[in-house]
Chains A and B, each alone.
Chain A
Amino acid sequence: MVLQTIWFFLWGLLWAVFFMTDGFDFGIGTLYPFLGKTDQDKRIMINALGPLWDGNEVWLITAGGVTFAAFPLVYSVMFSSLYSALMLILFALILRGVSFEFRGKVDDPRWRKIWDTCIFIGSFVPALLFGVAFANIFQGIPIDHNGIYHGTLFTLLNPYGLLGGILFVFLFMMHGALWICIKSEGGLQKRAASTANKLWPVLLGVAVVFLVASKFSTRLYDNYIEHPAFFIVILITVLALLSVRFFLARKTFFKAWFASALTIVGATFFGVIGLYPNLFPSSLNPRYSLSAYNASSSPLTLKIMLVVVIIFIPIVIGYQIWAYTLFKGKVTQADLAHDEAY
């Protein structure tokens, strides 16, 4: 029981860290065609995430792997029932990853244009579909007692699902715009800051609508009503979102970005706490829901994985923080002049 509960929250944490880290990469990719006026701007934008995106993406692989290891039944039902959505995400991620590497390798504007488009698609599509997928999980998926999905890709595109998608896109765009503010100077930085300023009220609006809609479309609040102490998570998330505006006005961009990171983690945990103990609730019948208790691995596997995670995740966080520190500061002309720069 305890092991399964620990794993439930670790599972939520891994997804939250993935959204927090790769989230700004998705945001930058989504803003890329709008903020990148010149080739130089575009290069600054992709070099701002250049050294980091690959390591960030591994949080997705780890979140997926841990779902497989700790909750094999969830892994199997979740990924087969969300088949089309997940495949779209995967193809988008493929395009994004190679685009960074390929874009600068041939000196031809048409060549770069192709990969510019791929960067946008490869960032916007995952941002939207991860939001759609998680909102649908929050409200329940039409799966029967055998874990068979009764629906199509379009079943997922219901109003609440789409609202979740829009929320994610705005969260990530805000996150990305703030990262560009940190990493750039001059015109690009001004445009990024003004974009963040414009995005903020919209994001706040979408977030409020989402919180209200969750009352009517999901049962997430049941856990909060039962244990009101958990409302603090929602409170922190809202405060974090408000302080994004506060720091943005003072042009302390790193603090604003950090607040935005906290907002993303908080938003993920808002759902995760509300879901508990379900990982993949059924909308057909609550008895068909897959939970931390009926879908987990054996105690031995959970224990082994816990040891692995306790040893390695702090090490991973350690060297990722080292990498972030190594590449702090603005992307400069000299950085762009490098052979290896994107």
Chain B
Amino acid sequence: MDVVLLSRLQFAAATMFHFLFVPFTLGLSFLVAYMETKYVKTGDETYLRMTKFWGKLFLINFAVGVVTGITLEFQFGTNWSRYSAYVGDIFGPLLAIEATASFFLESTLIGVWIFGWKKLSKKAHATVMWLVAFASSLSAIWILIANAWMQSPVGFTIRDGRAELVDFAAVLFQKYAVFKFLHTISAAYVLSAFFVMGVSAYHLLKKENIEFFTRSFRIALGFGTIFSLIVVVIGDINGVIVAEKQPAKLAAMESLWETTTRAPVYLFALPDEKNEKNKIEIGAIPGMLSFLVRHDINAEVRGLKDFPKDERPPVLITSFAFKGMIGLGCYFVLATLFGWWKRKRLVDNPRYLKLMLLSIPLPYVACELGWIVAEVGRQPWIVYGLMKTSDAVSPIAVSQVLTTLVAFIVVYGLLGVTGFYLIAKNALKGPELATDN
């Protein structure tokens, strides 16, 4: 075990854990804000109870998301100091702006929302949640611009042995960043929608609070249907962008070894990295990959053999994570469209409700797989084509990283169990019967 591997494991553990909580915050904040606005506009108490019930789950989740976010910002310094010194001129401002322009707003206002029920007018209180929602999505923009820069570095020059910023607008508005943001944020909204639908389905199956949970389900269904479709459409555009900017990643995603015209998509392929081929290939659709990434079934797509062995990402992990993500993405579209069709008769479809209850974990899996494709697929680079991950690590001792890695696993493990236990406990308990407000 060396410092590079341990630091990578630590970063993966910290990020993946953090991202179990972030998407829920991003999406549910909008749903809660919408419910509260409905309450303000109609005066209907059910909307207030909905706001409080989903708001409580939101807050438990929010707490874990916030505290695990801090370690990420500091890990670039603690574990990836050479990376930080090399690209800090571009990467640093993006994180600093995130904190100054969005995270401050989100964190200050969440306290106002929690404690401000009686101190603010109803309208102002609802506005606060809208601001929290916008601020958290705005945070995501900055973080994803930073990540997009690692995937597709632009707007810089190499001077005095480091990357220096020359064109900030190029960093902010490159299409890699724009579409990465749209894809990730939509996926996050889908996750929160499936959570609300799943928990509502549980209560509808038990015939509890039917009106309350039918409304909740429908709100989430509308939100979830729209963004399930958007995720897929944007994901398709992302494929084209990856093919252009990170051809080795694309080849690994599709397990494509030879550079060919009429490149196929395999429904299933088991890569054999040692012998540079696929052990098993099932269901090849000729020309499909060429069509997807170049909009021409005869176009040439570069295969893995086109790249030196030490510049190829791990093919097995990347391709499996990619296929899994795609499969789940398609499932979300079908599940929400079916729900849309049956939206008037939800309680009469216990099988669908059961399916939606069991589907709660799936968007979580899909989001994590998406990040695996993005980050493992970028290897061996930390900044694509510019800096290798192995050159980026801090000059620290193996024992230091090993200690903190174990601490991360233990602390985050306990935190995850506690957090999800509290969320599940409150979700299954259902809403308070009456509220005093």
A residues at B contact (CB < 8 Å): 47, 50-55, 57-58, 60-62, 64-66, 68-70, 72-73, 75-80, 83-84, 86-87, 90-91, 93-95, 97-98, 100-102, 105-106, 146-149, 297-298, 300-301, 304-305, 308-309, 312-313, 316, 319-320, 323, 326-327, 334-335, 338-341
Contacts and interface: CB of A to CB of B under 8 A. Distances in A.
B89 A52 contact: no
B60 interface: yes
A172 B426 CA distance: 36
**Interface SS of A by simple majority:** helix
B112 interface: yes
Contacts of B85: 72-73, 75-77, 147
Contacts, number: 234
Interface stretch (B70-78, B264-272, B296-304, B312-320): B70-78
**Interface SS of B by simple majority:** helix
Given A55-B107, A61-B70, A78-B77, A305 B96 contact: yes
A92 to B, nearest CB: 10
B67 to A, nearest CB: 4
A68 B89 CA distance: 8
Contact of A80 (B60, B81, B104): B81
Contacts of A57: 70, 107
Given A51-B112, A101-B60, A340-B117, A68 B419 contact: no
22 contacts: A50-B111, A52-B111, A55-B107, A64-B77, A65-B73, A68-B77, A68-B88, A73-B88, A75-B85, A80-B81, A83-B396, A84-B400, A95-B411, A97-B63, A105-B422, A148-B395, A301-B89, A301-B92, A301-B164, A305-B97, A308-B101, A320-B104
A105 B119 CA distance: 23
A76 B419 CA distance: 32
Given A75-B84, A83-B404, 19 more contacts: A51-B116, A64-B99, A68-B76, A69-B97, A75-B76, A76-B394, A87-B407, A93-B67, A94-B67, A94-B68, A101-B59, A297-B89, A297-B92, A312-B101, A312-B104, A319-B108, A319-B109, A323-B108, A327-B115
Q: How large is the interface on B (under 10, 10 to 19, 20 to 34, 35 or more residues)?
A: 35 or more
A54 B71 CA distance: 15
Contacts of A47: 115
B100 A326 contact: no
A271 B213 CA distance: 58
Interface in B46-70: 52, 55-56, 59-60, 62-64, 66-68, 70
B77 A79 contact: yes
Contacts of B60: 101-102, 105
Contacts of B159: 298
> Sorted from nearest, which 9 A-B pairs have the closest CB atoms?
A72-B88, A79-B77, A65-B96, A55-B108, A69-B92, A68-B92, A101-B63, A51-B111, A76-B81
Given A75-B88, A80-B395, A94 B71 contact: yes
Interface string B401-437: 0011001000100010011001001100000100100
Contacts of B78: 79-80, 83, 86-87
Contacts of A298: 89, 159, 164-165
B425 to A, nearest CB: 8
A254 B78 CA distance: 39
A90 B71 contact: yes
A53 B108 CA distance: 8
